[in-house]
Structure 1
Amino acid sequence: MIVTDTADKIKSMEIRGAGRIARAAAEALRDHALSIQPPYTAAFQQEMERAAAILVATRPTAVSLPNAVHMVMNGIGKATTVDEARTGVVQRAEHFIQSSQHAVEKIAEFGARHIRNGDKILTHCNSEVALGCIIEAHRSGKEIEVFATEVRPRNQGLITIRTLNDAGIKTNFIVDSAVRSFINEIDLVVVGADAVTVNGAVVNKIGTSQVAHTAKEARVNMIVAAETYKFAPKTVIGDLITIEERPSSEVLPDDIAKTLPHVRVRNPAFDVTPAEFIDLIITEQGAIPPQMAYVIIREYLGWDIAEFH
């Protein structure tokens, strides 16, 4: 089944990165809608809702995933025929995929404007949009240098440095704990986001909050690059974003863990950076201070707050 295969790849992090996860989910729903042949509209809706629930359950922290699913599924209950319902899902999925890809390009364009010639930039984790800003600045002729973290325990930094290397950008690869040692050499921090709350706090790869605190102490500006669909509507009514804790085997192999019966491995995949440690959030709609996050939720996500009550 297309949906379960995609869900497995998202859960195992074969498909990773909030934007890529969201597009993969939209593609899976589109392909599933085209593959099923239910006898009546209610059965089609029920099967699509089941598929949507499977996808949403895979990564609890990446708000892009439920937002993408919501956008694709929005309005399915209003269809009067199976063909109408199927067409709606397919059209909304393709629109989301195209707009998501366009958002990456727009953010890169906007973000590059905030990078100066000669800047040394620190980035943490592997963010499609954060790297887009850096690469676009390089393409525009700016001489820049990047410090990229290792990103334990999954080592996403290896993907980052390969991408930067292929773009011809001078890059330094450092362990996560070395950020404070190099922060005084840094002019700008650019990271991505897995979720942005209504008060402008950012949920991103574990270690981001430490990077942000270190940058604030050193008076280094911090920019977050995030598509509008990474903003979390339910935080408007006080819902907290679940911080995913991944298997202990990512940190400590099971054969070693068995010899340490009194040791418990903790492996949260994300942390929360308070809004006061963030200078700017760059979206495809433009750059905003984190305090304006509510405007994005209200104006661009299409969520009706009444849905939450």
Structure 2
Amino acid sequence: MKLGILAWEEGEPESVGIAGTATERGHDVTVFELDHVRLSPGPAGAVTTIRGTPLSAYDVILCRCDLSTPPWTEKIQQYLLLDGEPGVPILDPLPVHIAAASKRAMLRRLTRHGIPVPPTLECRGVDDLRAAFDQWGEIVVKPALGFRGLDVERLLDGPTAEALTLAQKLLERHEVLLSQPYLAHQGDFRVLVLGSEVSSCTRFNTAGEDWKPFSGDEADPPVHHDFIDPPDDLSALALAAVRAMDLTMGGVDVVRSGTGWTVIEVNPVPGWAAWKPEQARIPNLRVVEFIEKEIEGMT
């Protein structure tokens, strides 16, 4: 199998780990970035190449790229070059990936499929934020596009001058924020789904000031976490959420509050870089085995 792995960056740990596992199993693997995807001259006109090799030479492309940062329009055009090559499936194609990368589209689709998500207000100015405070009192604001908890803030004291100043800075940076009620909880659950199976479940021991698994500072490690066997209702919810998004694999972020399980988001690029190497080998192998089965089922 000739496998292409589209990564955020060439050294992205999960992509490197998957590539290493696939290579150990005898596969030919190339890790590349979106900037390595080019439109090139071909015998009949124009073809897609990856580092100069025609896309048609690959058996499958695994997408682990980041669409949460600019330049979004250029990234989409580069991604589109990978889509539609006969006999070269993309896991996952752009329409599927982008519907999950966009938190607005993701929340809408999950709601339509009956998946419990937080009520959400799109904020484009301070008046919108005041409306969120009026409705919920304690809120969380986050970028409409983002990852790893960057610029996700919990505002518990109402529309104070300090809170509005912080929110205004975030609006200037991102233009659009999503505001949701803060759901008091202890513990965040990350469920990794591959195909129709739950591969693993991690419980991040969030509480108090450590209220989110990742601080937002990429240099900081996540809060303490444990691997658990998820209860049946959590597994069923995660599977339903990934199925609703039409993803072949996804990381489902879930909290349990007084109202029960709530899906915070479904990540089309689940990560496990914070895991110990011996732990990370497990999802690396399962991803490769999943891709092998997908290719076998297509032949």
Normalised to the residue count of structure 1, the TM-score between the two structures is 0.31
More strand by share: 2
Normalised to the residue count of structure 2, the TM-score between the two structures is 0.32
